[in-house]
Amino acid sequence: MATPLLSAELLRRLEQFQLLAQRRAKSAARGERRSRARGQSVEFADYRNYVAGDDLRYLDWNLYGRLDRLFLKLYEEERELPVRIFLDASESMTFGEPVKFDFARQVAAAVGYVALCGFDRVSVVPFPHRAGEALARGALRTVRGRKSALTFFQHLQQLTASGPASLNEALRRGAIEARQAGLALVLSDFLDPAGYEAGLTALVARGFQVDAVHVLAPEELSPTTFGDLRLVDAETGGQQEVTFGRYRLAAYRQTVSNYCQRLREFCAARGINYFLASSATPLEELLLRQLRAAEVLG
């Protein structure tokens, strides 16, 4: 364990925030989130006619006095919000300076910490799914409450990135496996030859509110290596020959920008919050400015 994922200063500031969910929580467990379920809380929701057997404590006596009929006050039941963090741990995430995977872990840790502070259930789904690691992670799949923060951080730090991954496959599985839909945070570089559309669509279809953070290394955004190159793909081993000079830098940037724009439009059409972040972006900038502006944190 080299450096802590998050600084103490950042943790202190994150405690002031909570995750904002636009949808009502559907979890069965009680929590601090408003839900469609009626139950015990201080938030008034509705009235209904009294039927025999109802708890007399919830009768509205004032209304009985005016209308001479018995009504029962209903309250919103507060439930927990399951937060699933999909963390891309493929080989491509090991590139960049700073390394994209480290950056993604920090974002995951920060968002997870906010969720834990809000008594939400946090689970981390790293992909590709590896049997060996799953064993170690088994107990840590889902944590809840601020007391679990340390365990959560340790778990994140034990993760390594390697091997090829299928983004679509991982997201679809995550959508199916989830018992309740909640908040899904997808941390990936979205550089999958098979695309990302099916996976994100599956999450949305399952009812998740999806936040996608697109992590790219500075080198990928603006390359500094020029000349006659034979590029080897770290995940697939595929080769690509390219002659690249400074004068074509603008064209390359345009290509990257087009790619990101397409992803952004895809997300916007499905109500997904999309954030593009270079791995060199300061964490505070992303968390405290961009995520707050998009009302992911509040």
Among 17, 95, 119, 152, interactor with other proteins by CB under 8 A: 95
Instruction: Note whether 224 binds other proteins by CB under 8 A.
Output: no
Residue 256 as a binder of other proteins (CB under 8 A): the answer is yes
Tokens of 241: 């020959």
- Whether a cis peptide bond, with omega within 30° of 0, leads into 82 is no
Q: Please count the other Cβ atoms lying within 10 Å of the Cβ belonging to residue 51.
A: 8
Q: What angle do CA 290, 295, 298 make, to 5 degrees?
A: 100
Q: Which of 1, 135, 251, 269 binds other proteins (CB under 8 A)?
A: 251
Structure tokens at 248: 């074509």
Kindly indicate which of the ranges 11-19, 123-131, 254-262, 265-273 contains the residues binding other proteins, using the contact rule CB under 8 A.
Answer: 254-262
**Residue 163 within binding range of other proteins, rule CB under 8 A:** no
**Phi/psi of residue 87, each to 5°?**
-110, 120
Q: Which residue in 183, 136, 177 sits closest to 159, CA to CA?
A: 136
From candidates 43, 258, 265, 298, binder to other proteins by CB under 8 A: 258
Task: Please tell me the count of residues contacting other proteins according to CB under 8 A.
Answer: 42
Query: Of 235, 270, 280, 283, which one interacts with other proteins (CB under 8 A)?
Result: 235
252 in contact with other proteins (CB under 8 A): yes
- Any contact of residue 268 with other proteins (CB under 8 A)? no
280 contacts other proteins (rule: CB under 8 A): no
Q: How far is the CB of 242 from other proteins (least distance, A)?
A: 6
257 binding other proteins? (CB under 8 A): no
- CA 165, 169, 172, 177 dihedral sign is negative
> What is the rounded distance in angstroms from the CA atom of residue 26 to the CA atom of residue 18?
18
Q: Does 189 engage in binding with other proteins (CB under 8 A)?
A: yes
Per-residue binding letters, 51-90, with other proteins (x by CB under 8 A): ----------------------------------------
Let me know: does 187 contact 107? Beta carbons within 8 Å.
yes
How near is the Cβ of 2 to other proteins at its closest, in Å? 22
User: 31 with 79: CB under 8 angstroms?
Assistant: yes
Give the DSSP H/E element, type plus range, for residue 297.
none
Q: Angle at CA 254, nearest 5°, toward 251 and 260?
A: 150
Choose the binding region for other proteins from 45-53, 118-126, 149-157, 187-195 (rule: CB under 8 A). 187-195
Binding flag, residue 191, other proteins (CB under 8 A): yes
Q: How far is the CB of 287 from other proteins (least distance, A)?
A: 24
Nearer CB in complex with other proteins: 62/224 = 224
Residue 107 one-letter amino acid: V
Query: Around Cβ 185, how many Cβ atoms within 10 Å?
Result: 28
| DSSP H or E segment with residue 213 | strand 209-216
- Integer Cα distance of 239 and 256 in angstroms: 19
Binding test (CB under 8 A) with other proteins, winner from 29, 56, 205, 232: 232
Residue from the set 19, 21, 89, 93 that interacts with other proteins by CB under 8 A: 93
For 108-165, where are the E strands, in sequence order? 121-127, 142-144
The one among 67, 150, 229, 294 contacting other proteins by CB under 8 A: 229
Kindly list the residues in this chain that would bind other proteins in the complex (CB under 8 A).
Answer: 91-96, 100, 189, 191-193, 217, 220, 225-236, 238-243, 245-248, 251-252, 254-256, 258-259
